[in-house]
Chain A
């Protein structure tokens, strides 16, 4: 975790700034075939800082986020920190992979063939250990219904009836 605090300060004081507030967005799409498709968008430099902090032996800010080793770490991290509950049973989605889109990394996770109920609890804890004011914006799509809410470090899960 050596450089993390530095990275945070840097965003505040540099003449060439990328982004200063910490946000990710996740779309949970509940399909008719009883699957959940999850699309998570994270800023590349946030994910880079996270990998640097967690796996400083294998990764620094100059390393390649696409290397097989780091990809497996990213998958493991996402699968652990994103979960869905139906009837109080916790399910972890499977990460299919990631894609680079400009300054974003788009991550795809899926949970196949599960008993989807109307009462759903969603949890998304990504980046909370890194940035105090990290906000994970969640969009939920089920049939034709849409709902959105924001998860923070203190409220990292949300139960909805949809």
Chain B
């Protein structure tokens, strides 16, 4: 028994130290706990799989969705700033359930005088008001908005009873609508259009003081079917203003009557182009269909300026049909310039279109349509080929808002035509974003009322990819920047938000009405999370395949957050439950640091620590069998630090000689430097540890320890690192790709980082 097995010592060490700790804590025994491991699966959080939605994240065998088809006659009354319409909805019940009533959404009612959403926020007395603000708030009659419903009738003209609750209208059916059956009913309605410049909103009109004209961007303008599904039943969350829309797909036939000198475009294919286009416009349109590199003007600035002068009393009716869309919107004005170009998407031609008053120039003529085209191409490459025949970008002063095939975008130059970079990149960014919404949520159609991040966050992520692609394809647009100056996407840009006071944070998985800061919460943070998944966690190939799978699976369908989470894992074989839980279900942040670095060397004799272990066990040193010892650098008493381990340990040397030929030994790589590095994790989120080791000779090596290093200890983890060269610097997350909110603990030796203040001061001193 002379040679004691080292393993035995270690085991007894573990046991006896456990014994000690138990003794100390005998009177304060720790309580047990549930599974709180950050890598546990999300069985508790998820409600699927079921027959409707599979565990793979795809539509299940019993998946269904309702259909709503619309036939509408709309008239825009420019003089009175009113819109009226009659519509027939045909609703198909594909659900297995029988429906006693239907719910229709009346979004305009959010602007009714007595709308509770106008008084839902706390407010107080402001110390100062400007006169127009004061007048609007305290003196003027409130805006008389909201739907006026004239009737609701069945196909035979019989009146149907209805009840309006805020922004939703229940229509009582005389007979139950059975599973698999259809029902048709009609409505007549009108409402006052609001001034979107002074009264805000997602649609409305803008008056141009200089010529007395208005431009209209019209949306949420007709009573629309609510969604009925297996998750919510009837979607019953009112429209309060922030949470956007949940709408079933269907086919639309819409006739819109406007002043004869208006230029109009809308969701859907124009059916009577020859009636509403002049000969010149038709000729230019045919030219635009073959122009793949630059937009062709359909209505020029000179023509628009001429049209501004007349206020025609005649009317024109524009006729559109749209297949498989979830909504319908349009824009109309005699001030509009109009340009178009063709884009190849797959083997199909799509038209990229822009409508803008001259006040948008020169910015709009230069960039809008080109950006639309680039967006369609890039989004298609990451998802599916854009299935509609056109995408329109309409200029509205301060709105960014999306509808199928058409969206409204801000970005207006000064009156003299000059504009700042902020205005230019703001405009390009919002066009990419709103055109991108055609993919999410217009086609991959999540419930926006419940989950804003599913379209805003996913869309902001693809927006980032598109901005970067645009910068590569059109360097002259972003000059003198080298890359497009994206303000959302890169990991380091979200660290400010993720480090704010926890009282102002909500998890991404929170209804958009209840978050403190919808911008970073539903746009910035999920977009960044997906970018980190793509670039750091999964890698581009795995991510892109899974992301495309999700997009294709849920094209023209209604996915839930689980369907997205599940598909991303299922199509990549990467378990991401830890990532979803941390980033989407909590307000935790990333902060990983280097706590301590210790250097060791090979020694022939037991070092201090080994001696201590033996002493504690009460075993004499001579009972140890020959071993290779590692000794803490700090305790070096024999000056063995810089010597080859083989010279330091005869034992090791002899072992090698006995087991390898001399030739083999000469080619063996024996490490000279031994380090123990302790990483700690003040942040709640687990992330891979990305470390860059810099050696004496200036060379660098980057190692990524998988996130699983945290699975047994959520606070700190130590790693042994061996090398032939001395390590002089260690940097954590050197490329700032993990959103680490505090980088002051990311370097060894600790660097006295110049504060922003010092840097700025030395900069201004030159």
Q: Are A16 and B400 in contact (CB under 8 A)?
A: yes
Q: Are B518 and A150 in contact (CB under 8 A)?
A: no
Q: Are A14 and B132 in contact (CB under 8 A)?
A: no
Contact of A39 among B242, B433, B756 (CB under 8 A): B756
Contact of A12 among B242, B400, B413, B757 (CB under 8 A): B242
Q: Are B764 and A39 in contact (CB under 8 A)?
A: no
Chain A residues with Cβ below 8 Å from B434 are 15-16
Select from chain A the residue with minimum beta-carbon distance to B242. Answer: A12
Q: How far is the CB of B544 from chain A (nearest CB, A)?
A: 26
Interface membership of A147, Cβ < 8 A:
no
Chain B residues with Cβ below 8 Å from A144 are none
Contact of A23 among B124, B127, B398, B504 (CB under 8 A): B504
Interface membership of B16, Cβ < 8 A:
no
Q: Are B132 and A2 in contact (CB under 8 A)?
A: yes
Contact of B755 among A19, A39, A63, A132 (CB under 8 A): A39
B-facing residues in A108-162 (Cβ within 8 Å): 108, 110, 128-129, 132, 137, 150, 153
Chain B residues with Cβ below 8 Å from A129 are 127-128
Q: Are B504 and A21 in contact (CB under 8 A)?
A: yes
Q: Are A62 and B420 in contact (CB under 8 A)?
A: yes
Chain A residues with Cβ below 8 Å from B400 are 14-16
Q: Are A6 and B504 in contact (CB under 8 A)?
A: no
B-facing residues in A29-58 (Cβ within 8 Å): 29, 37-39, 41, 44, 53
Count residues of A near B (Cβ-Cβ below 8 Å): 45
Q: How far is the CB of A33 from chain B (nearest CB, A)?
A: 12
Q: Are B241 and A104 in contact (CB under 8 A)?
A: no
CA distance A18 to B198 in the complex (A): 19
Chain A residues with Cβ below 8 Å from B305 are none
Q: Are B128 and A19 in contact (CB under 8 A)?
A: no
Of the stretches B39-47, B275-283, B493-501, the one at the interface is B493-501
Select from chain B the residue with minimum beta-carbon distance to A141. Answer: B755
Q: Are A5 and B136 in contact (CB under 8 A)?
A: yes
Select from chain B the residue with minimum beta-carbon distance to A150. Answer: B501
Select from chain A the residue with minimum beta-carbon distance to B401. Answer: A15
Most buried by B among A97, A102, A137: A102
Chain B residues with Cβ below 8 Å from A9 are 199-200
CA distance A6 to B198 in the complex (A): 6
Chain A residues with Cβ below 8 Å from B761 are 96, 108, 110
Chain A residues with Cβ below 8 Å from B433 are 16
Contact of A16 among B198, B401, B412 (CB under 8 A): B401
CA distance A64 to B422 in the complex (A): 9
Count residues of B near A (Cβ-Cβ below 8 Å): 55
B-facing residues in A74-127 (Cβ within 8 Å): 96-97, 99, 102-104, 106, 108, 110
Chain A residues with Cβ below 8 Å from B137 are 5
Interface membership of B126, Cβ < 8 A:
yes
Contact of A1 among B130, B410, B412, B430 (CB under 8 A): B130
Q: Hey, what's the 0/1 contact readout for B620-637 against A, CB within 8 Å counting as 1? A: 000000000000000000
CA distance A18 to B518 in the complex (A): 8
Select from chain B the residue with minimum beta-carbon distance to A131. Answer: B126
Chain A residues with Cβ below 8 Å from B496 are 41, 104
**Main SS class of interface, A:** mixed
Chain A residues with Cβ below 8 Å from B130 are 1-2, 4-5, 53
Select from chain A the residue with minimum beta-carbon distance to B402. Answer: A15
CA distance A41 to B198 in the complex (A): 29
Interface membership of B201, Cβ < 8 A:
yes
CA distance A37 to B420 in the complex (A): 31
Chain B residues with Cβ below 8 Å from A53 are 130
CA distance A5 to B126 in the complex (A): 11
Interface membership of A10, Cβ < 8 A:
yes
Interface membership of B517, Cβ < 8 A:
yes
Interface membership of B151, Cβ < 8 A:
no
CA distance A1 to B493 in the complex (A): 31
Q: Are B517 and A39 in contact (CB under 8 A)?
A: no
A-facing residues in B684-721 (Cβ within 8 Å): none
Q: Hey, what's the 0/1 contact readout for B731-766 against A, CB within 8 Å counting as 1? A: 000000000000000000000000111001100100
Chain A residues with Cβ below 8 Å from B128 are 1, 129
A-facing residues in B517-544 (Cβ within 8 Å): 517-520, 523
A-facing residues in B87-143 (Cβ within 8 Å): 121, 123-124, 126-130, 132-133, 136-137
Q: Are B200 and A20 in contact (CB under 8 A)?
A: no
Q: A10-B200, A13-B241, A21-B517 are in contact. Are A97 and B760 (CB under 8 A)?
A: yes
Select from chain B the residue with minimum beta-carbon distance to A39. Answer: B757
Q: Are A19 and B520 in contact (CB under 8 A)?
A: yes
Select from chain A the residue with minimum beta-carbon distance to B437. Answer: A15
CA distance A128 to B402 in the complex (A): 34
Interface membership of B202, Cβ < 8 A:
yes
Chain B residues with Cβ below 8 Å from A96 are 760-761, 764
Chain A residues with Cβ below 8 Å from B127 are 128-129, 153
CA distance A18 to B410 in the complex (A): 13
Q: How far is the CB of A5 from chain B (nearest CB, A)?
A: 4
Q: Hey, what's the 0/1 contact readout for B531-561 against A, CB within 8 Å counting as 1? A: 0000000000000000000000000000000
Q: Are B420 and A64 in contact (CB under 8 A)?
A: yes
Chain B residues with Cβ below 8 Å from A1 are 128-130, 133
Q: Are A20 and B764 in contact (CB under 8 A)?
A: no
Chain B residues with Cβ below 8 Å from A103 are 487
Which 8 pairs between the two chains have the least Cβ-Cβ distance? Answer: A16-B400, A1-B130, A15-B401, A5-B133, A9-B200, A37-B757, A17-B519, A19-B519
Q: List 7 A-B contacts (CB under 8 A).
A: A4-B133, A9-B200, A16-B401, A21-B504, A39-B757, A62-B414, A64-B420
Which positions in B face A, CB cutoff 8 Å? 121, 123-124, 126-130, 132-133, 136-137, 197-202, 241-242, 244, 398-402, 410, 412-414, 419-420, 422-423, 430, 433-434, 487, 493, 496, 500-501, 504, 516-520, 523, 755-757, 760-761, 764
